[in-house]
Amino acid sequence: MTTREVALISGPNGWGEFGAFLEYGPQEASRWLASAIETACHPWPDAVRHEIAVNATIPAVPAAQVAGVLARFPGCTTAKVKVAERGQRLDDDVARVAEVRAVMGPSARLRVDANGAWSVDEAVEALGRLAAYDLEYAEQPCAHVEQLRDLRVALVRAGVDVPVAADESIRKAEDPLRVRDLEAADLIVVKVAPLGGVRSALAIVQECGLPAVVSSALDTSVGISSGVALAAALPTLEHACGLGTVALLAGDVTPCPLLPDHGALRAGRVAVDEALLDRWAAPPERATWWADRVANCHAVLAAAPQEGGMP
Protein backbone atom coordinates (compact mmCIF):
# COMPACT_ATOMS: atom_id res chain seq x y z
CA MET A 1 0.00 0.00 0.00
CA THR A 2 1.41 3.38 -1.01
CA THR A 3 -1.72 5.55 -0.71
CA ARG A 4 -4.24 5.66 2.14
CA GLU A 5 -7.76 7.04 1.66
CA VAL A 6 -10.17 7.89 4.48
CA ALA A 7 -13.27 10.01 5.03
CA LEU A 8 -13.47 12.38 8.01
CA ILE A 9 -16.76 13.17 9.73
CA SER A 10 -17.37 16.20 11.94
CA GLY A 11 -19.78 15.95 14.87
CA PRO A 12 -20.63 17.60 18.20
CA ASN A 13 -17.73 15.87 19.97
CA GLY A 14 -15.13 16.44 17.28
CA TRP A 15 -13.93 14.46 14.28
CA GLY A 16 -14.33 10.78 13.48
CA GLU A 17 -12.52 8.77 10.83
CA PHE A 18 -14.07 6.30 8.38
CA GLY A 19 -11.20 4.44 6.78
CA ALA A 20 -12.44 0.98 5.80
CA PHE A 21 -10.10 -0.44 3.18
CA LEU A 22 -11.28 0.09 -0.36
CA GLU A 23 -12.06 -3.56 -1.10
CA TYR A 24 -14.48 -3.91 1.84
CA GLY A 25 -18.18 -4.07 0.97
CA PRO A 26 -20.90 -2.10 2.81
CA GLN A 27 -21.62 -4.81 5.37
CA GLU A 28 -18.05 -5.06 6.65
CA ALA A 29 -17.25 -1.38 6.15
CA SER A 30 -20.36 -0.28 8.07
CA ARG A 31 -18.66 -1.17 11.38
CA TRP A 32 -15.90 1.30 10.51
CA LEU A 33 -18.56 3.97 9.89
CA ALA A 34 -20.20 3.19 13.23
CA SER A 35 -16.85 3.83 14.89
CA ALA A 36 -16.47 7.18 13.11
CA ILE A 37 -19.96 8.24 14.16
CA GLU A 38 -19.30 7.23 17.76
CA THR A 39 -16.08 9.25 17.89
CA ALA A 40 -17.68 12.33 16.31
CA CYS A 41 -20.89 12.26 18.34
CA HIS A 42 -20.16 10.70 21.75
CA PRO A 43 -17.63 11.04 24.57
CA TRP A 44 -15.11 8.27 25.04
CA PRO A 45 -15.04 6.02 28.12
CA ASP A 46 -13.10 7.32 31.11
CA ALA A 47 -9.34 6.88 30.86
CA VAL A 48 -7.38 4.99 33.50
CA ARG A 49 -4.03 6.07 31.98
CA HIS A 50 -3.03 9.04 29.86
CA GLU A 51 0.14 7.83 28.15
CA ILE A 52 0.25 4.79 25.86
CA ALA A 53 3.52 3.07 24.96
CA VAL A 54 3.64 2.28 21.24
CA ASN A 55 5.74 0.03 19.03
CA ALA A 56 7.75 0.83 15.93
CA THR A 57 6.43 -0.83 12.77
CA ILE A 58 8.85 -2.38 10.28
CA PRO A 59 7.29 -3.18 6.89
CA ALA A 60 8.64 -6.05 4.80
CA VAL A 61 11.68 -4.06 3.74
CA PRO A 62 15.17 -5.42 3.03
CA ALA A 63 17.35 -5.73 6.13
CA ALA A 64 19.50 -2.85 4.89
CA GLN A 65 16.53 -0.46 5.27
CA VAL A 66 15.63 -1.44 8.83
CA ALA A 67 17.73 1.20 10.59
CA GLY A 68 16.19 3.96 8.47
CA VAL A 69 12.66 2.85 9.31
CA LEU A 70 13.45 2.56 13.02
CA ALA A 71 14.76 6.14 12.96
CA ARG A 72 11.15 7.30 12.43
CA PHE A 73 10.20 5.89 15.85
CA PRO A 74 12.53 7.54 18.37
CA GLY A 75 12.17 6.25 21.91
CA CYS A 76 10.21 3.11 21.00
CA THR A 77 11.52 0.02 22.78
CA THR A 78 9.16 -2.42 21.02
CA ALA A 79 9.03 -3.21 17.29
CA LYS A 80 6.53 -5.11 15.16
CA VAL A 81 8.14 -6.69 12.11
CA LYS A 82 6.11 -7.70 9.08
CA VAL A 83 6.93 -11.20 7.80
CA ALA A 84 5.57 -13.72 5.27
CA GLU A 85 5.27 -11.08 2.55
CA ARG A 86 4.18 -12.55 -0.77
CA GLY A 87 7.15 -13.03 -3.08
CA GLN A 88 9.68 -13.10 -0.24
CA ARG A 89 11.39 -16.04 1.46
CA LEU A 90 11.72 -17.08 5.07
CA ASP A 91 15.40 -16.17 4.82
CA ASP A 92 14.30 -12.58 4.11
CA ASP A 93 12.16 -12.59 7.26
CA VAL A 94 14.99 -13.96 9.37
CA ALA A 95 17.41 -11.35 8.03
CA ARG A 96 14.92 -8.54 8.73
CA VAL A 97 14.17 -9.68 12.28
CA ALA A 98 17.86 -10.25 12.98
CA GLU A 99 18.65 -6.72 11.86
CA VAL A 100 15.89 -5.24 14.05
CA ARG A 101 17.34 -7.11 17.02
CA ALA A 102 20.85 -5.92 16.17
CA VAL A 103 19.78 -2.28 15.86
CA MET A 104 17.48 -2.18 18.91
CA GLY A 105 19.59 -4.33 21.19
CA PRO A 106 18.87 -7.24 23.54
CA SER A 107 16.42 -5.42 25.83
CA ALA A 108 13.94 -4.43 23.10
CA ARG A 109 10.71 -6.34 22.59
CA LEU A 110 10.20 -7.80 19.11
CA ARG A 111 7.00 -9.18 17.68
CA VAL A 112 6.27 -10.47 14.16
CA ASP A 113 3.09 -10.18 12.07
CA ALA A 114 2.39 -12.69 9.30
CA ASN A 115 -1.15 -11.50 8.46
CA GLY A 116 -2.34 -15.11 8.33
CA ALA A 117 -0.02 -16.10 5.49
CA TRP A 118 1.41 -19.34 6.91
CA SER A 119 -0.02 -22.82 7.20
CA VAL A 120 0.41 -24.48 10.58
CA ASP A 121 3.49 -26.38 9.41
CA GLU A 122 5.00 -23.27 7.83
CA ALA A 123 4.38 -21.30 11.01
CA VAL A 124 6.09 -23.93 13.15
CA GLU A 125 9.13 -23.86 10.85
CA ALA A 126 9.26 -20.06 10.63
CA LEU A 127 8.73 -19.40 14.31
CA GLY A 128 11.23 -22.11 15.16
CA ARG A 129 13.86 -20.05 13.33
CA LEU A 130 12.63 -16.62 14.41
CA ALA A 131 12.40 -17.63 18.07
CA ALA A 132 16.19 -17.27 18.21
CA TYR A 133 15.61 -13.50 18.31
CA ASP A 134 13.47 -13.66 21.46
CA LEU A 135 9.99 -12.85 20.15
CA GLU A 136 7.36 -11.25 22.35
CA TYR A 137 4.65 -12.95 20.25
CA ALA A 138 3.61 -13.82 16.68
CA GLU A 139 0.58 -11.94 15.38
CA GLN A 140 -1.93 -13.90 13.27
CA PRO A 141 0.58 -16.45 11.97
CA CYS A 142 -2.23 -18.48 10.34
CA ALA A 143 -5.45 -17.34 8.71
CA HIS A 144 -8.12 -19.28 10.57
CA VAL A 145 -8.91 -19.51 14.25
CA GLU A 146 -8.82 -23.32 14.15
CA GLN A 147 -5.31 -23.12 12.71
CA LEU A 148 -4.23 -20.82 15.52
CA ARG A 149 -5.52 -23.38 18.01
CA ASP A 150 -3.63 -26.18 16.26
CA LEU A 151 -0.50 -24.05 16.00
CA ARG A 152 -0.38 -23.41 19.73
CA VAL A 153 -0.40 -27.16 20.31
CA ALA A 154 2.20 -27.76 17.58
CA LEU A 155 4.54 -25.10 18.98
CA VAL A 156 4.49 -26.74 22.41
CA ARG A 157 5.28 -30.12 20.85
CA ALA A 158 8.13 -28.59 18.86
CA GLY A 159 9.54 -26.85 21.92
CA VAL A 160 9.08 -23.38 20.37
CA ASP A 161 8.25 -20.78 23.00
CA VAL A 162 6.44 -18.05 21.02
CA PRO A 163 3.02 -16.82 22.21
CA VAL A 164 0.29 -16.48 19.55
CA ALA A 165 -1.75 -13.29 19.08
CA ALA A 166 -5.04 -13.13 17.16
CA ASP A 167 -5.72 -10.09 14.98
CA GLU A 168 -7.82 -10.87 11.88
CA SER A 169 -9.49 -13.65 13.87
CA ILE A 170 -10.86 -10.87 16.09
CA ARG A 171 -11.50 -7.93 13.78
CA LYS A 172 -12.74 -9.85 10.72
CA ALA A 173 -14.60 -12.65 12.49
CA GLU A 174 -18.36 -12.98 12.78
CA ASP A 175 -17.77 -14.24 16.32
CA PRO A 176 -14.52 -12.88 17.74
CA LEU A 177 -15.13 -14.75 21.00
CA ARG A 178 -14.31 -18.06 19.25
CA VAL A 179 -10.67 -17.18 19.86
CA ARG A 180 -11.40 -17.45 23.57
CA ASP A 181 -13.67 -20.49 23.28
CA LEU A 182 -11.14 -22.49 21.23
CA GLU A 183 -8.17 -21.32 23.32
CA ALA A 184 -6.64 -20.24 20.03
CA ALA A 185 -4.47 -17.36 21.26
CA ASP A 186 -2.45 -16.11 24.19
CA LEU A 187 -3.47 -12.51 23.56
CA ILE A 188 -5.60 -10.49 21.15
CA VAL A 189 -4.94 -7.51 18.89
CA VAL A 190 -7.89 -5.12 18.63
CA LYS A 191 -8.56 -2.27 16.23
CA VAL A 192 -11.29 0.20 17.13
CA ALA A 193 -12.76 0.89 13.69
CA PRO A 194 -13.45 -2.66 12.43
CA LEU A 195 -14.97 -3.54 15.81
CA GLY A 196 -17.50 -0.72 15.60
CA GLY A 197 -16.03 1.80 18.01
CA VAL A 198 -14.26 2.23 21.32
CA ARG A 199 -17.09 0.89 23.47
CA SER A 200 -17.66 -2.16 21.29
CA ALA A 201 -13.96 -2.99 21.24
CA LEU A 202 -13.71 -2.51 25.00
CA ALA A 203 -16.58 -4.95 25.52
CA ILE A 204 -14.94 -7.57 23.28
CA VAL A 205 -11.67 -7.31 25.20
CA GLN A 206 -13.51 -7.73 28.48
CA GLU A 207 -15.46 -10.74 27.21
CA CYS A 208 -12.40 -12.43 25.72
CA GLY A 209 -10.55 -12.12 29.02
CA LEU A 210 -7.14 -12.17 27.28
CA PRO A 211 -4.39 -9.54 27.35
CA ALA A 212 -4.97 -7.01 24.57
CA VAL A 213 -2.82 -4.93 22.27
CA VAL A 214 -4.55 -1.98 20.57
CA SER A 215 -3.47 -1.45 16.98
CA SER A 216 -4.28 0.85 14.06
CA ALA A 217 -5.13 0.41 10.41
CA LEU A 218 -2.79 3.07 8.98
CA ASP A 219 -5.07 5.83 10.21
CA THR A 220 -4.60 9.59 10.30
CA SER A 221 -4.20 11.12 13.76
CA VAL A 222 -8.00 11.27 14.00
CA GLY A 223 -8.31 7.51 13.73
CA ILE A 224 -5.27 6.95 15.92
CA SER A 225 -6.85 9.06 18.67
CA SER A 226 -9.72 6.56 18.91
CA GLY A 227 -7.24 3.72 19.33
CA VAL A 228 -5.45 5.67 22.04
CA ALA A 229 -8.81 6.25 23.75
CA LEU A 230 -9.41 2.49 23.83
CA ALA A 231 -5.92 1.76 25.14
CA ALA A 232 -6.38 4.45 27.79
CA ALA A 233 -9.66 2.87 28.96
CA LEU A 234 -8.51 -0.78 29.20
CA PRO A 235 -8.37 -1.99 32.81
CA THR A 236 -4.92 -3.51 32.18
CA LEU A 237 -2.42 -2.93 29.39
CA GLU A 238 0.68 -5.15 29.43
CA HIS A 239 2.08 -4.51 25.95
CA ALA A 240 3.04 -1.56 23.77
CA CYS A 241 0.34 -0.74 21.24
CA GLY A 242 0.53 -0.54 17.46
CA LEU A 243 -0.58 3.09 17.31
CA GLY A 244 2.61 4.76 16.09
CA THR A 245 1.86 4.40 12.38
CA VAL A 246 1.33 8.12 11.65
CA ALA A 247 5.13 8.10 11.30
CA LEU A 248 4.65 6.09 8.08
CA LEU A 249 2.45 8.77 6.44
CA ALA A 250 3.66 11.60 4.20
CA GLY A 251 1.17 14.02 5.77
CA ASP A 252 -1.68 14.40 8.24
CA VAL A 253 -4.83 16.45 8.86
CA THR A 254 -3.61 18.12 12.05
CA PRO A 255 -0.66 20.43 12.67
CA CYS A 256 0.14 18.34 15.77
CA PRO A 257 0.25 14.72 14.50
CA LEU A 258 0.05 11.88 17.00
CA LEU A 259 3.70 10.90 16.81
CA PRO A 260 5.40 9.08 19.69
CA ASP A 261 7.21 11.20 22.26
CA HIS A 262 9.80 9.05 24.02
CA GLY A 263 7.94 6.01 22.69
CA ALA A 264 4.47 7.02 23.94
CA LEU A 265 1.30 8.82 22.82
CA ARG A 266 -0.96 10.95 24.99
CA ALA A 267 -4.72 10.42 25.03
CA GLY A 268 -6.98 13.22 23.81
CA ARG A 269 -8.94 14.65 20.91
CA VAL A 270 -7.24 15.82 17.72
CA ALA A 271 -7.73 19.31 16.31
CA VAL A 272 -8.23 19.08 12.54
CA ASP A 273 -6.86 21.89 10.38
CA GLU A 274 -9.07 23.00 7.47
CA ALA A 275 -6.04 23.99 5.38
CA LEU A 276 -4.61 20.49 5.75
CA LEU A 277 -7.97 19.00 4.78
CA ASP A 278 -7.72 21.01 1.57
CA ARG A 279 -4.07 20.04 1.12
CA TRP A 280 -4.82 16.32 1.23
CA ALA A 281 -8.33 16.38 -0.28
CA ALA A 282 -9.21 13.65 -2.73
CA PRO A 283 -9.99 14.60 -6.34
CA PRO A 284 -13.72 15.17 -7.03
CA GLU A 285 -14.38 11.70 -8.47
CA ARG A 286 -12.91 10.01 -5.36
CA ALA A 287 -14.83 12.34 -3.07
CA THR A 288 -18.05 11.33 -4.83
CA TRP A 289 -17.12 7.66 -4.47
CA TRP A 290 -16.57 8.13 -0.73
CA ALA A 291 -19.82 10.06 -0.28
CA ASP A 292 -21.71 7.19 -1.94
CA ARG A 293 -19.84 4.71 0.22
CA VAL A 294 -20.78 6.54 3.41
CA ALA A 295 -24.42 6.55 2.32
CA ASN A 296 -24.39 2.82 1.53
CA CYS A 297 -22.75 1.93 4.85
CA HIS A 298 -25.10 4.22 6.76
CA ALA A 299 -28.05 2.36 5.20
CA VAL A 300 -26.64 -0.89 6.60
CA LEU A 301 -26.39 0.66 10.06
CA ALA A 302 -29.88 2.12 9.87
CA ALA A 303 -31.30 -1.29 9.00
CA ALA A 304 -29.69 -2.92 12.05
CA PRO A 305 -29.04 -0.19 14.64
CA GLN A 306 -28.62 -2.66 17.46
CA GLU A 307 -25.62 -4.17 15.65
CA GLY A 308 -24.23 -1.09 14.01
CA GLY A 309 -23.92 1.22 16.99
CA MET A 310 -25.99 4.02 15.50
CA PRO A 311 -26.18 7.07 17.82
The catalytic residue positions are: 82, 191
Q: Pick from 39, 35, 37: which is nearest to 204 by CA?
A: 35
CB atoms within 10 A of CB 97: 25
d(CA 33, CA 37): 6
Q: 14-18, long-range: CB within 8 Å, 24+ apart, which pairs?
A: 14/39, 14/40, 14/269, 14/270, 15/39, 15/40, 15/222, 15/269, 15/270, 15/272, 16/40, 16/41, 16/222, 16/226, 17/193, 17/219, 17/220, 17/222, 17/223, 17/226, 18/193, 18/294, 18/297
Rg (CA), the chain: 19
